[in-house]
Amino acid sequence: MKPLTYQCLQMVLHEMSFLKRKELYAKCPAIRKQEERIGYKINEMEIRQYSNRCSISVDNFKIVFEEPPEDKMEKFVITMENKKTKITVKYSIDLILNEAAEKWVTYVLNRPDTKIQHLKLYAEPICILKCDPITIINLTMGIHSAAPEGRSSWVKTTVPVRHLEVGYVIRDDTMKTAPSVVISSARDIDFKILSAWQANKIIINAWLSLEQVVTYCTTITPKPIGFRCESWIEHMNMEYGTLDWLAGKASARKTTWNGKKCFTILLDAFSELNVHGNLDKFSNILIMEVNPRGTAIHR
């Protein structure tokens, strides 16, 4: 059998799973230099970083950096696990935790054409801050604070992520540019930040107070026609007084939209924000959407 050409080997390595490539890297010294120059195709990557522990999963591989027990002299301990076979390897290195985690992450991700289908970031993932821009399709961020000073985002991307799931709304350029967003909590949402996000679709899987709805509707920046935001609302049966109360607080027109009770805020000469329930009566979901001006009818 003829050996693979340089170009064929590049293609084969690029299509291989992360774990298979690492196994091949360990067994075949001849391909190591080439392997280190080729980006990964990663299905799922998760980073959870705290002050004393950093856990990173890449598909079926897991590596954990953590401080050793107090009675040990090592600066930190590394544990690597093959999640398929459950085989683990554990050893110590004389480095500080944050430096070791950052070196490993940048070594893996700072390669041309690296692509992550789903990246999940939790706690305070400072190990990813020095990575080059990455192609990320779906991003989950369980982070409650903005990136450290001098950084506009926790992770930089080559293009906007297609879908974003967050627990907290924070100032972050990568969050801001995602076209589709799911927010899992309404606690402490800064609606001035949210109103500036460029998403065409936002789903808030939490109860919004009436005051939060008013804040969002009155601070929203112009959105393209087709924009839609859905959320639960603390006052059900909104057709019976609630929508009219919101209209008064938002200085909006009382209207109807496709037979539904609604209120309307003009955004510009061509579009309007229409706010209504998901049903004709007894709605439990509030819908805010941008339509061509004149879609809703005054009542």
Extended strands (E) in the chain:
41-49, 53-58, 61-66, 76-82, 87-93, 115-123, 135-142, 163-166, 180-183, 201-208, 228-233, 253-257, 260-266, 271-277, 285-292, 297-298
Handedness of CA 107, 109, 113, 115 (dihedral sign): positive
Containing structural domain, residue 187: 179-299
Q: Which residues of 88-108 are buried (b: 16+ CB within 10 A; e: fewer)?
A: eeeeeeeeebeebbbebbbeb
Establish if 22 belongs to a structural domain. Answer: yes
Establish if 280 belongs to a structural domain. Answer: yes
Q: For residue 236, what pLDDT is reported? A: 67
Establish if 266 belongs to a structural domain. Answer: yes
Q: For residue 148, what pLDDT is reported? A: 92
Place of tokens 């903005």: 146
Tell me how crowded residue 161 is: count the other CB atoms within 10 A of its CB: 25
Q: For residue 29, what pLDDT is reported? A: 84
Establish if 144 belongs to a structural domain. Answer: no
Query: Alpha-carbon distance 157 to 260, whole Å?
Result: 41
Q: For residue 75, what pLDDT is reported? A: 67
Q: How many domains does the chain have?
A: 2
Low-confidence ranges of the chain (pLDDT < 70): 1-4, 6, 9, 69-75, 236
For residue 140, report the phi and psi dihedrals to the nearest 5 degrees. -115, 125
Q: For residue 257, what pLDDT is reported? A: 86
User: Looking at the whole model, is its pTM more than 0.85?
Assistant: yes
Establish if 289 belongs to a structural domain. Answer: yes
Q: For residue 263, what pLDDT is reported? A: 95
Handedness of CA 129, 133, 136, 138 (dihedral sign): positive
Establish if 138 belongs to a structural domain. Answer: no
Q: For residue 190, what pLDDT is reported? A: 87
Query: Alpha-carbon distance 149 to 126, whole Å?
Result: 12
Mention every residue, 6+ apart, whose C-beta is less than 8 A from residue 30. Answer: none
Q: For residue 158, what pLDDT is reported? A: 96
Query: Alpha-carbon distance 74 to 8, whole Å?
Result: 43
Q: For residue 120, what pLDDT is reported? A: 98
Establish if 84 belongs to a structural domain. Answer: no
Establish if 152 belongs to a structural domain. Answer: no
Contact 103, 128 (CB under 8 A): no
DSSP state of 79: E
Q: For residue 110, what pLDDT is reported? A: 95
